[in-house]
């Protein structure tokens, strides 16, 4: 068993109104960042997972995403397992 740091990025689904992203977008625009055309705000979750391989750690965490970490109605997620230690 190795330990993997697994990063989960949870983001609002495309097309869904993201009020936080909109607020940040307009704040950036007022700071002069007119070149920023869109902002989406999500969240990052980091898990330390004991698993035989990165693929196994990823699979476990994807299951956890479906059950708990993301809401399938409103959010997408991306799971990345990083190097064993």
Partner 1 sequence: MNVAVVTFPGSNCDQDCHRSVELAGGEPRYVWHRQRSLGGAEAVIVPGGFAHGDYLRPGAIARFSPIMDAVVAFAREGGLVAGICNGFQVLCEAGLLPGALLRNRSLRFQSHDCRMRVERTGTAFTREYREGQVVRMPLSHADGNYYAGSGTLAELEGEGRVVFRYSDARGGVTPEANPNGSLNHIAGIVNRRGNVLGMMPHPDRAVEEALGSADGLPLFESLVRAGAGSREAACADAGATAGASAAAQAAR
Residue in 14, 17, 31, 34 binding partner 1, rule: CB under 8 A: 17
**Residue (28 or 54) nearer to partner 1, CB:** 28
- The alpha-carbon radius of gyration of the chain (Å, integer) is 16
Element (H, E) at 56: helix 54-64
Taking the complex as a whole, the smallest distance from the CB of residue 45 to partner 1 amounts, in Å, to 8
Q: Is 67 helix (H, G, I), strand (E, B) or coil?
A: helix
**Residue (56 or 76) nearer to partner 1, CB:** 76
Element (H, E) at 31: none
Structure tokens of 3? 């330990």
The residues of the shown chain that bind partner 1, judged by CB under 8 A, are 16-17, 19-20, 23, 68-69, 71, 73-74
């Amino acid at each position: 068993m190795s330990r993997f740091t697994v990063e989960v990025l949870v983001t609002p689904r495309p097309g869904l109104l993201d009020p936080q992203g909109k607020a940040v977008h307009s704040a950036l625009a007022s700071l002069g960042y007119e070149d920023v055309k869109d902002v989406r705000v999500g969240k990052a979750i980091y898990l330390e997972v004991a698993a035989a391989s990165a693929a196994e750690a990823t699979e476990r965490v994807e299951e956890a995403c479906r059950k708990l970490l993301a809401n399938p109605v409103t959010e997408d997620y991306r799971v990345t397992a990083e190097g064993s230690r």
